[in-house]
Structure 1
Amino acid sequence: MIAALGGLIAGAAAVYVRESGSGNGAAVETAGAKSCEAAKDKVAAITPFLKGQVAAMAPASDPRPLPGLNFKGKDGKDMTIADFTGKTVLLNLWATWCVPCREEMPALNALQQSAGSEKFEVVAVNIDIGGDEKPTAFLNETGVHDLGYYRDASMGVFNALKTEGLAFGLPVTLLMDDKGCLISSMNGPAAWDSEDAKALVKAAAGS
């Protein structure tokens, strides 16, 4: 009887721990959703610009922060999307072995060159496994010099987006507002140097 009673107490404790953890997670999720409440207006503002060369960009049905977007800067410093607070960000994941990625990198570079400012940045994160040799060689060969150099050799940032249902392959591109809330996303390449892309960025950054 004592053993049985002990088992019941242990079982009750396990249920309590699971429920408490779930409740805390729900609270964090709710807080995140509230912090992006204003982003719904931004989604509405950019939706008319999701056309032409950027028609594949889909407006976010639930603007929200995205945890797990961790990568490294040029100096090897750990970074997250929070480091860009105050800027609208076009976050793009690419790899040297991805042919569509290679083809669109010059266009992303041109977008950064024409639209990059204190209000907007193209953040292209390379996810090649291994060292920096291949990605840096490719960028030098193609004359892509206006983009910041961001890397995640662990592919953790891609897996985080896959978990969120946002990444199915490469390239994948997200548009994040100046508070780090997702407002639009797409899988596949786009003509980021087009007038359609520039108009979308202008609407998103409010510039």
Structure 2
Amino acid sequence: MSHLLIAVFLCLICVGISPTRAETGSLQLNGESSQFVELRPKRIARDTPFYDRDGISHTLSSYRGKAVLVNFWATWCVPCIAEMPSLDQLAAAHTNTDLSVLTISIDKGGLANVIPFYRRFSLDHLPVLIDPDQETAFADNDNPNDGEFAIYGFPITYAIDRDGHILGYITGRVDWQSQSATDFINDFLRGTEKGGN
């Protein structure tokens, strides 16, 4: 499948045309175009690399002990643009809690695209993280770099518990200031579905 067809498919998902989702688990979250999908069995995320603004490699194992939301996005994705300020507010509200909010751009242009985007939208509470070679997330069916996280649509947010288990994901824009998101985060931080398969 050509890259253009993949981009068209992903954009269709962004606006709410998405594959049928499995029934959700005990963590509940509704976005604009989908709901949280629980993964079974729950597996521990592998240590695939993503990079910060200084080019330093990071992996998810360094976040063990924290509940982690990993959001994969791109500067060209309209729902991502709409969602990022909400994620920034979420990160600001949880600066001193057990929640880490990681927003990882898969823009091919890497930092050259992402840093101006952060400045433009005053995203002061989110770390600048990139995965331009799809080493951690993959949108290409071939997954040439053995990425860990499938991108079913943009944006996509995965929930990872304190033990590193991938609990599930939600595609499309989420209002992270909504009551649904607040309830989700509270359940997530209380350890709902924490660990285990």
Q: TM-score range by the shorter chain?
A: 0.7 to 0.9
Q: Which is worse superposed, 101-110 or 124-133?
A: 124-133
Aligned to 1:203, what secondary structure does the other structure show? helix
| 1:99 pairs with one of 78, 103, 118 | 78
User: Does the Cα contact within 8 Å between 2:66 and 2:161 map onto a contact in 1?
Assistant: yes
1:206 aligned onto 2:190? yes
1:189 aligned onto 2:173? yes
1:61 aligned onto 2:40? yes
What corresponds to 1:130 in structure 2? 109
1:112 aligned onto 2:91? yes
User: Does the Cα contact within 8 Å between 2:110 and 2:130 map onto a contact in 1?
Assistant: no
| Cα distance change, pair 183–170 in 1 and its aligned pair in 2 (3 A) | same
User: Does the Cα contact within 8 Å between 2:152 and 2:171 map onto a contact in 1?
Assistant: yes
Matches within 5 A, 1:1-207: 47-53=25-31, 56-67=35-46, 69-159=48-138, 166-206=150-190
Measure the CA separation in 2 of the matches of 1:77 and 1:154. 15
User: Does the Cα contact within 8 Å between 1:67 and 1:160 map onto a contact in 2?
Assistant: no
User: Does the Cα contact within 8 Å between 1:111 and 1:198 map onto a contact in 2?
Assistant: no
Give the gaps of 5 or more residues in structure 2: 1-23, 192-197
Question: TM-score, normalization: structure 2?
Answer: 0.73
Aligned residues: 162
Question: TM-score, normalization: structure 1?
Answer: 0.69
| Cα distance change, pair 165–76 in 1 and its aligned pair in 2 (3 A) | closer
- Provide, for residues 146-191 of structure 1, a one-character-per-residue CA deviation record: whole Å limited to 9, x for no partner: 1111111212222289666842232111000011101121222211
| Cα distance change, pair 82–47 in 1 and its aligned pair in 2 (3 A) | same
Give the gaps of 5 or more residues in structure 1: 1-45
Higher Cα Rg, which structure? 1
Aligned to 2:136, what secondary structure does the other structure show? helix
The Cα RMSD (Å) is 2.5
Letter in 1 for 2:120: E
Q: Share of identical aligned residues, percent?
A: 26
Aligned to 2:180, what secondary structure does the other structure show? helix
